A and B are shown apart, each in its own frame.
Chain A
Amino acid sequence: MKLLQATTGPILTMLLGGLLTVWLVRQAPGYGADPSELDGRWSAESIATLRAQSQGHMTTWQLYTAYLKGLARGDMGNSLAWNRPVAQLLGQRGLVTLRSSGLAVLFGWAAAVVVALSCRFRALPLVSTTSRGAAAALLCLPAPAVALLLCLVMRPAVPELVAAAVTGLAIFARVLLPSSTLLYASEAEPHVLQARARGVTSTRLVIWHVFRCAAPALFSLLAASVPVAFGIAVPVETVCNLPGAGQLAWLAAQKRDLPVLTGLTFALMAVTLLSTSMARAWSVSGPELAERRTA
């Protein structure tokens, strides 16, 4: 029952989001207009047949149900600009973004947690001040500018690495402060203080007490950094000329490739809602499981 309640909300949000996207697409100026209609060689009958074949005459609801039926069969439509199945395009480009964003999330999080812990347990005021200053400075710059500056320094020999580095830096900047606060709050818990008083080593203290205590909140924060990573991937992949899903979104927006934009919206909503639902489930069930294990 709990599972049903937890999944209904995100699924309904996704369906509603899809409906809104299709409605927006349907209202977009020029929707359903076929440039071949302007070709004088076509006869009136042929133009009428072309119009009947196109989806321009369909209502939003008809379009949406047709799209959902196709989606159930794994068919997300055909890209107008690339003349290829949208699912194939998303699969290929999504993999590139997944690889670079995955690397970025890993790098950003590892750096933030290591800096937070080392500043706390090894008392490194200079590292603490520098890292916080760097994080604050990164938050004052738009992602494409950071990408350009990195390209200037690194020379874009491997665009995937530059994209991962920029996204990783942006995630580090966004995660450093909240993750430090969470870890410090866990460190002040009574059972952690007691473990420290009993002489538990720093490593053991961090792994078995501090992390365990902060895990649900950290996991929620991690889930929130997934859409952030994609948001940064759009301009960064464009600057670095990396053929990922971010660059696809930009190109599709410029070419008004509406099937690609609808497909991307669905895919992104699914990823975001899945990650937030998982974080919510973990934040609810994590402490319960820990209590049961302790009992």
Chain B
Amino acid sequence: MGPVKVAAAAGLALLAASSFAAGWIRPSGYAVQFRDAPAVAPCARFPLGTDELGRDLLARMLYGMRLSFLLAGSAALVSSAIAGLAGIATGVLGKGFEQVLEICFNLLMSLPWIFLLLLARALLPLEMPAETSVLVTFLLLALLGWAPAARVIGASARSLRHSGFTLRARAEGAGSWRLIWFQLWPNLQRLIGAQFLILLPGFILSEATLSFLGLGVGEPLPSWGGLLRDLEDYSAVAEQPWRVAPLILMFLTVACLQSLSGAAPCAARRKI
């Protein structure tokens, strides 16, 4: 691991720690409205100021980051699990299953990602409780985002199916489960891990875009997309530059994740 990757890992650990310590750093929480201090500038009491409703922006930012970490992480985990299963199945079940999966890939990848999310979200009830909107948003990400990762894992599984050690294991009488457990899984687990790291920043950015468009996480729950909506009034941003803080934090998080995910495929290739 080079110095950039070490710095990225340390930065990410720091960001994750501060988001999980949000309750300790800002005990008042993200939803409390300080009616005596609406839209105040950064001060000792509110290091990043408050919004028009008097809510502490630092608290909202930290809780929003925690939500993104937890739910984008879970969505990426589910997505890479589906991709892993689909990929391994192509390696074991052969041509017929491969063709069925190819149709699924083509269907999912023939529409732009954001439009696919918009379409799926539009067909669900638009007015729903904030907690349900969080689950729906990240479930949609998980269920619609696995196709590119499955294609990569499937290609590796296909090449492993024809590799010397797999052919030998099959010739020695190994069944499908044994092949999966002892031949495919050990060789694919790093690649699946790499796909998880690649999906994670993409999901964070997608959630931000979807919430920015008003179709993601609902108020009063904080999310990065929701916080970015405050930037829409760009004349106010010029007067209150601290409003850009959530964007900077999000940039740092995604940059750290991108740096780490850049290292992951190399490690996976080395393993294979």
Which A residues lie at the B interface, using CB under 8 A? Answer: 9, 13-14, 16-17, 20-21, 24-25, 27-29, 136-137, 139-145, 148, 151-152, 227-228, 230-232, 234-235, 238-239, 249-250, 252-254, 256, 258, 261, 264-265, 268-269, 272-273, 276
CB distance from A25 to the nearest CB of B (A): 7
A148 touches B231 (CB 8 A): yes
Residues on the A chain within 8 Å of B209, using CB: 142-144, 235
Q: Which 5 A-B pairs have the closest CB atoms?
A: A231-B112, A253-B122, A140-B254, A28-B123, A152-B234
Binds A, one of B29-37, B172-180, B212-220: B212-220
Binds A, one of B85-93, B103-111, B134-142, B159-167: B103-111
Which B residues lie at the A interface, using CB under 8 A? Answer: 103, 106-107, 110-115, 118-126, 201, 205, 208-209, 212-215, 225, 228, 231-232, 234, 237-238, 247, 250-251, 254-255, 258
Given known pairs A136-B258, A256-B126, A261-B122, the reply for A141 and B111 (CB within 8 Å) is no
Residues on the B chain within 8 Å of A137, using CB: 251, 255
Residues on the B chain within 8 Å of A252, using CB: 122
Please give 18 more A-B residue pairs, beta carbons under 8 A apart, in addition to A24-B123, A152-B234: A27-B123, A28-B124, A139-B254, A140-B258, A141-B205, A142-B205, A142-B208, A142-B228, A142-B250, A144-B228, A151-B234, A227-B111, A234-B115, A235-B212, A253-B119, A253-B122, A268-B111, A268-B112
CB distance from B147 to the nearest CB of A (A): 13
Residues on the A chain within 8 Å of B124, using CB: 28-29
A231 touches B232 (CB 8 A): no
CB distance from B261 to the nearest CB of A (A): 11
A253 touches B121 (CB 8 A): yes
B123 touches A231 (CB 8 A): no
Given known pairs A148-B232, A228-B112, the reply for A25 and B123 (CB within 8 Å) is yes
Expressed in whole angstroms, the Cα–Cα distance for A25 and B119 within the complex equals: 9
Which residue on chain A has the smallest CB distance to residue B214?
Answer: A254
Expressed in whole angstroms, the Cα–Cα distance for A261 and B110 within the complex equals: 15
Residues on the B chain within 8 Å of A272, using CB: 110-112
Among A17, A24, A144, max chain B CB count under 10 A is at A144
CB distance from B218 to the nearest CB of A (A): 13
Q: Which residue of B115, B126, B237 is within 8 Å of A152 (Cβ)?
A: B237
Residues on the B chain within 8 Å of A230, using CB: 112, 115
Expressed in whole angstroms, the Cα–Cα distance for A5 and B43 within the complex equals: 67
Expressed in whole angstroms, the Cα–Cα distance for A227 and B209 within the complex equals: 17
CB distance from A193 to the nearest CB of B (A): 27
B107 touches A17 (CB 8 A): yes
Expressed in whole angstroms, the Cα–Cα distance for A151 and B209 within the complex equals: 17
Expressed in whole angstroms, the Cα–Cα distance for A136 and B254 within the complex equals: 10
Which residue on chain A has the smallest CB distance to residue B244?
Answer: A149
Given known pairs A231-B112, A239-B232, the reply for A16 and B121 (CB within 8 Å) is no
Given known pairs A13-B103, A24-B123, A227-B112, the reply for A152 and B238 (CB within 8 Å) is yes
A141 touches B251 (CB 8 A): yes
CB distance from A101 to the nearest CB of B (A): 11
Which residue on chain B has the smallest CB distance to residue A151?
Answer: B234
Residues on the B chain within 8 Å of A261, using CB: 119, 122
Residues on the A chain within 8 Å of B126, using CB: 254, 256
15 contacts between A and B (CB under 8 A): A16-B103, A16-B107, A21-B119, A28-B123, A29-B125, A137-B251, A139-B258, A144-B208, A144-B212, A231-B113, A231-B114, A235-B213, A253-B215, A256-B126, A269-B111
Residues on the A chain within 8 Å of B123, using CB: 24-25, 27-28, 258
Residues on the A chain within 8 Å of B254, using CB: 139-141
Residues on the B chain within 8 Å of A143, using CB: 209
CB distance from A22 to the nearest CB of B (A): 11
Which residue on chain A has the smallest CB distance to residue B208?
Answer: A142
A268 touches B208 (CB 8 A): no
Which residue on chain B has the smallest CB distance to residue A25?
Answer: B123
Which residue on chain B has the smallest CB distance to residue A13?
Answer: B106
B107 touches A20 (CB 8 A): yes
Expressed in whole angstroms, the Cα–Cα distance for A253 and B126 within the complex equals: 9
CB distance from B269 to the nearest CB of A (A): 15
Expressed in whole angstroms, the Cα–Cα distance for A210 and B193 within the complex equals: 36
Expressed in whole angstroms, the Cα–Cα distance for A96 and B208 within the complex equals: 25
Given known pairs A140-B254, A253-B119, the reply for A265 and B234 (CB within 8 Å) is no
B115 touches A268 (CB 8 A): yes
Residues on the A chain within 8 Å of B208, using CB: 142, 144-145
B111 touches A148 (CB 8 A): no
Residues on the A chain within 8 Å of B118, using CB: 234, 249-250, 253
Residues on the B chain within 8 Å of A268, using CB: 110-112, 115
Q: Which residue of A231, A254, A258 is within 8 Å of B215 (Cβ)?
A: A254
